[in-house]
Structure 1
Amino acid sequence: MGRTAVVVGGGIGGLAAAIGLRRVGWEVTVVERAAVLDDAGAGISLAANGLRALDELGVGTAVRAASRGQYTGGTRTPSGRWLARLDGTALERAVGTPIVGIPRATLHRLLRDALPAGTLLTGVAAGPVRLTGTDTVRVGRGDTVLDADLLVAADGIRSPVRGLLFPAHPGPVHTGATVLRALTAHPVELTTDFELTWGGGAEFGHIAFLDGRAEWHAVLDLPAGTRFTDPSAALRRRFAGWHDPIPALLDATPPDAVLQHDVHELRAPLPSFTAGRTVLLGDAAHAMTPHLGQGACQALEDAVTLAAALAAGPTVEAGLARYDAVRRPRAQAVARAARQARRLGQGLSHPLAVALRDTAMRLTPSRASTRMILRHHRWTPPRLG
Structure 2
Amino acid sequence: MRILIIGGGIAGSAAALALHKAGFEAAVYEAHPKNGEDLGAFLTLASNGMRSLGQLGAAEAVAGLGFPLTGLRLLDATGATLADTPLGGRDDPLTRFRCLRRADLAAALQQEVRRRGIPINHGARLSSLTEDAAGVTATFADGRTASGNLLIGADGLNSKVRSLISPAEPRYAGQKVFYGYTTEAPQAEDSEQITMIRGSATAFGAACSPTGQTYWFARVTSPRATADEIATMTSSQWRDHLLPLVEPDNTPAAAIIAATSDQLMVTNAVDLPLGLRWHTLRTLIIGDAAHAASPATGQGASMAMEDAVVLAKALRDAPSMSGALADYERVRRPRVEDNIAASAALSAGRPPARDGADSRPVALSDDELARQLEWRTPLPTR
TM more than 0.5: yes
Secondary structure of 1:325 counterpart? helix
Superposed, 1:182-197 pairs within 5 Å as 182-184=180-182, 189-192=187-190, 193-197=193-197
State the match for 2:274 in structure 1.
268
State the match for 1:283 in structure 2.
288
Secondary structure of 1:124 counterpart? coil
Asked if residue 177 in structure 1 is aligned to residue 154 in structure 2, the reply is no
- 1:102 Cα shift? 2.1
Secondary structure of 1:146 counterpart? strand
CA contact (8 A) 1:101 1:208 kept: no
State the match for 2:346 in structure 1.
341
CA contact (8 A) 1:265 1:287 kept: yes
- CA 118–260 in structure 1, closer or farther in 2 if over 3 Å, else same: same
State the match for 1:66 in structure 2.
65
- CA 92–369 in structure 1, closer or farther in 2 if over 3 Å, else same: farther
Asked if residue 258 in structure 1 is aligned to residue 257 in structure 2, the reply is no
Asked if residue 113 in structure 1 is aligned to residue 111 in structure 2, the reply is yes
Match among 231, 236, 246 for residue 243 of structure 2: 236
- 1:247 Cα shift? 4.2
- 1:287 Cα shift? 0.8
Asked if residue 199 in structure 1 is aligned to residue 199 in structure 2, the reply is yes
- 1:280 Cα shift? 1.0
Match among 302, 306, 310 for residue 305 of structure 1: 310
Letter in 2 for 1:236: L
- 1:373 Cα shift? 4.5
State the match for 1:353 in structure 2.
none
* Structure 2 CA distance for aligned equivalents of residues 186 and 298 of structure 1: 33
- 1:205 Cα shift? 1.1
Asked if residue 7 in structure 1 is aligned to residue 5 in structure 2, the reply is yes
TM-score normalised by structure 2 residue count: 0.83
Secondary structure of 1:52 counterpart? helix
State the match for 2:380 in structure 1.
none
CA contact (8 A) 1:269 1:286 kept: no
State the match for 1:383 in structure 2.
375
- CA 166–38 in structure 1, closer or farther in 2 if over 3 Å, else same: closer
* Structure 2 CA distance for aligned equivalents of residues 86 and 308 of structure 1: 33
* Structure 2 CA distance for aligned equivalents of residues 125 and 186 of structure 1: 41
State the match for 1:155 in structure 2.
155
CA contact (8 A) 1:69 1:101 kept: yes
- 1:297 Cα shift? 1.0
* Structure 1 CA distance for aligned equivalents of residues 358 and 244 of structure 2: 37
CA contact (8 A) 2:342 2:361 kept: no
- 1:20 Cα shift? 0.8
State the match for 1:164 in structure 2.
164
Secondary structure of 1:274 counterpart? coil
Unmatched 5+ residue regions in structure 2? 378-382
Secondary structure of 2:172 counterpart? strand
Deviations 1:49-95 (A, max 9, x none): 1111010111112322334332334221233222222323x76479x
* Structure 2 CA distance for aligned equivalents of residues 214 and 74 of structure 1: 15
Structure ranking higher in helix proportion: 1
- CA 31–372 in structure 1, closer or farther in 2 if over 3 Å, else same: closer
Q: Say what the alpha-carbon RMSD is for the aligned residues.
A: 3.0
State the match for 1:222 in structure 2.
222
* Structure 1 CA distance for aligned equivalents of residues 300 and 203 of structure 2: 18
- CA 373–25 in structure 1, closer or farther in 2 if over 3 Å, else same: closer
State the match for 2:20 in structure 1.
22
> With CA pairs under 8 Å and 6+ residues apart, which has the higher RCO, 1 or 2?
1
Secondary structure of 1:114 counterpart? helix
Deviations 1:224-264 (A, max 9, x none): 23437321222233322445643453355332x32211111
Asked if residue 99 in structure 1 is aligned to residue 97 in structure 2, the reply is yes
Asked if residue 82 in structure 1 is aligned to residue 81 in structure 2, the reply is yes
Deviates more, 1:221-230 or 1:13-22: 221-230
CA contact (8 A) 2:76 2:82 kept: yes
- CA 188–23 in structure 1, closer or farther in 2 if over 3 Å, else same: farther
Count how many residue pairs are aligned between Structure 1 and Structure 2: 358
CA contact (8 A) 1:308 1:382 kept: no
State the match for 2:46 in structure 1.
47
* Structure 1 CA distance for aligned equivalents of residues 165 and 75 of structure 2: 43
Letter in 1 for 2:109: L
- CA 247–219 in structure 1, closer or farther in 2 if over 3 Å, else same: same
Secondary structure of 1:75 counterpart? strand
Deviates more, 1:232-241 or 1:55-64: 232-241
State the match for 1:330 in structure 2.
335
* Structure 2 CA distance for aligned equivalents of residues 373 and 329 of structure 1: 13
* Structure 2 CA distance for aligned equivalents of residues 149 and 188 of structure 1: 55
Letter in 1 for 2:103: A
Identity %: 27
Letter in 2 for 1:158: N
Deviations 1:6-63 (A, max 9, x none): 1111221111001111111222222222334354732221222111101011111232
- 1:209 Cα shift? 3.4
Secondary structure of 2:127 counterpart? coil
